[in-house]
Amino acid sequence: SQGDGDMPLPRHCDSITFEQVCYAYPGASEQAVRSVDLQVQFGEHVAIVGPNGSGKTTLMSMLPRLLVPVSGRICVDGFDISKVDLKTLRRQVGVVTQDSFMINGTVTENISFGAGDVTADQVQEAARLAHATSFIEEMPGQWDAVIAEGGASLSGGQKQRIAIARALVRNPAILILDEATSQVDAESEVSIRDAIQDAGVDRTMLIIAHRMASVMTADRILVLDEGSVVDIGTHDELLERCEIYARLTRTQLVPATES
């Protein structure tokens, strides 16, 4: 149930815990997420990997309460998120989806989309962290340049950086990033990697990783399979002991670009 509490959630500064979290889609015979336990410290960067359909997106969707666990609970700094005021939860969770959609509007409107009232300074700071400033300032009109819906005037890598800036504009304490799988040129690849690193400073970052660069730089990597946690550890630890992880690095994760 959406038992929405009225207690405001203070800004996250301590931990996020998943406690025996299960989720089943309505009508599904199998649970998409099965008894997941996970404890993340504030400021930690956790990459989530797993085969297609292993429950990565479902698990992450429960943190901003887009989906509600069928059992178990999620706590932020010890507060059960099902009991806090939803607005104060969502305000501090920035989400970057794989599909970095663009609206028909200016660069500023695209970055502030969905954030309500934000200042030009907030937009520019978000763009700086997302490594988007230099290409924005090269566009005719700069921050007022109009991006057509679909963003045909931007490269794939530029759209991804605008999407990262959009997630950062309210300075969220938590960043959930579903990494795009689309191929980008080598220069964009490096910029995106750097943008993800800078975006994660002073916040907790949970990243559904599709690129080697992102698992290599994560503090820990969570491996999911069929909705369950298979293992959690560093890249080197998992390469050594986790068969599924080793296979994913060979078959699914996009290799890092030399730079």
For the chain, what is the largest distance between any 2 Cα atoms, rounded to a whole number of angstroms? Answer: 53
The Cβ of residue 43 has, within 10 Å, a number of other Cβ atoms equal to 16
Q: How far is the CB of 57 from ligand ADP (least distance, A)?
A: 3
**Binding to ligand ADP by residue 177, rule CB under 6 A?**
no
93 vs 126 by CB, closer to ligand ADP:
93
Give dist(CA 202, CA 159) in Å, integer: 24
Taking CB under 6 A as the binding criterion, the range among 55-63, 96-104, 126-134, 228-236 that sits at the site for ligand ADP is: 55-63
Q: Which position among 18, 45, 58, 69 is part of the footprint of ligand ADP (CB under 6 A)?
A: 58
CA atoms of 128 and 133, how far apart (whole Å): 5
Q: Which is nearer to ligand ADP, 127 or 208 (CB)?
A: 208
Q: Which stretch binds ligand ADP (CB under 6 A): 56-64, 82-90, 102-110, 140-148?
A: 56-64
Half-sphere exposure of 212 (CA within 13 A, CB side): 12
Q: Which of residues 33-52 bind ligand ADP (CB under 6 A)?
A: 50, 52
d(CA 2, CA 192): 36
Residue 90: phi and psi, rounded to 5, are -65, -30
Pairing of strands 105-106, 146-147: antiparallel
Q: Candidates 8-16, 54-62, 102-110, 113-121 — which segment interacts with ligand ADP by CB under 6 A?
A: 54-62
Q: Site map for ligand ADP, 217-236, x if CB under 6 A?
A: --------------------
**Where does this chain touch ligand ADP (CB under 6 A) — which range of 53-61, 147-155, 165-173, 190-198?**
53-61
What φ, ψ does residue 22 adopt, rounded to 5°? -125, 145
Structure tokens at 97: 């989806």
Binding site for ligand ADP (CB under 6 A): 25, 28, 32, 50, 52-58
